[in-house]
Structure 1
Amino acid sequence: MTKPIVLVVAAALIDVDGRVLICQRPQGKQLAGLWEFPGGKVEPGETPEQCLIRELHEELGITVAQACLAPFVFASHAYESFHLLMPLYLLRRWEGQVTRKEHEALAWVKPDKLGDYPMPPADEPLVAWLRDLL
């Protein structure tokens, strides 16, 4: 039986101190309490970049220019009922103040400390790439 492929896009926001933003999934959602990179599901007719610009505005209240989104690496992970494909973009420039709108909590974390935060299985492999880069 083939599983549907779900395209989700995420961003690693990197501040001037080289810390990465992670967000805690809210109660009542699947994988609640785990930490993830901000982003979301790509809607029909939307490009990954358009989705990320929309999601970052909805979740964090920031404005992002498409030119500032740098494709970095992707995750491919089989969950029980679907297969997740998740490109991760790097983002160092945005407008506005990062604000928690939908998540339980936000944390700016040094790459070598990201392993201290429990993450969904699809996000975990991305941490090593960020650690090597930053």
Structure 2
Amino acid sequence: MKLAVLCYIRNNGRTLMMHRNSRPEDMHFGKWNAPGGKVEPGETPEECAVREVYEETALTVSDLFLRGVLTFPAFDDEEDWYVFVFTSENFSGVLKKSCHEGDLFWIKNEELMDLPLWEGDRIFMKWLDSNRFFSGKFVYNTFRLQSHSVVFYGDRSIAADDGTQQ
């Protein structure tokens, strides 16, 4: 089992995204992701988000908002991944242009879905604007999305793959 975080930093109608283009062996190569990474031993998800954002962007985030948790069973054909998804609109520092994983860009929110994203990201990124906490499950096979489900807390509804309520 691997624990990780994603942190969607927002500013004036834009979201900070990373184009993962530095390492061809990276399973995310060519995709766009939010800053984030693996939780280290003894670290809380919040501490991890602050650390990873700083390491990758040189920005210091504050006032993190935990939006949800994502489960990716056997995502890399080996281990389950559990990802804590945060947003923040509060940060300080000067953004660096790139890091060891790729290049960083502020993307207009209305253009995010035009990027080459993971199929599941296209689904859960729409949930980031909800005030309901979500727990999503995304099943991939050879890095292709096979199915997904979500529970939104607050009304406890469960959405099927097609988005209908069950």
TM bin, normalised by shorter chain, reads 0.7 to 0.9
User: After superposition, what is the alpha-carbon deviation per residue over 1:5-37, rounded to whole angstroms, capped at 9, x for unaligned?
Assistant: 21111101000x221111011223222111111
1:131 & 1:84 partners in 2: Cα distance? 23
SS of the residue corresponding to residue 124 of structure 2 reads helix
Contact 1:11 1:37 in 2 (8 A): yes
Q: Which moved more, 1:80-89 or 1:106-115?
A: 106-115
The reply to whether residue 96 of structure 1 matches residue 93 of structure 2 is yes
The reply to whether residue 124 of structure 1 matches residue 119 of structure 2 is no
Aligned residues: 126
SS of the residue corresponding to residue 85 of structure 2 reads strand
- Larger % of helix: which? 1
- Name the CA shift for 1:132/1:82 in 2 (closer, same or farther; >3 Å): same
Q: Give the TM-score normalised by structure 1.
A: 0.82
Letter in 2 for 1:7: L
Q: Give the TM-score normalised by structure 2.
A: 0.68
Task: Tell me which of 66, 71, 77 is aligned to 2:72.
Answer: 77
2:130 & 2:109 partners in 1: Cα distance? 9
Higher RCO (CA < 8 A, seq sep 6+): 1
SS of the residue corresponding to residue 64 of structure 1 reads strand
RMSD over aligned Cα atoms? 1.9
The reply to whether residue 36 of structure 1 matches residue 42 of structure 2 is no
1:82 deviation in Å?
A: 1.7
User: Identity, % of aligned pairs?
Assistant: 30
Contact 2:5 2:37 in 1 (8 A): yes
Query: Gaps spanning 5+ residues in structure 2: where?
Result: 132-166
- Larger % of strand: which? 2
* Structure 2 counterpart of 1:13: 9
1:122 & 1:97 partners in 2: Cα distance? 30
Larger Rg: 2
Q: Which moved more, 1:28-37 or 1:119-128?
A: 119-128
- Name the CA shift for 1:8/1:58 in 2 (closer, same or farther; >3 Å): same
1:61 & 1:122 partners in 2: Cα distance? 27
* Structure 2 counterpart of 1:23: 18
1:64 deviation in Å?
A: 2.5
2:116 & 2:82 partners in 1: Cα distance? 20
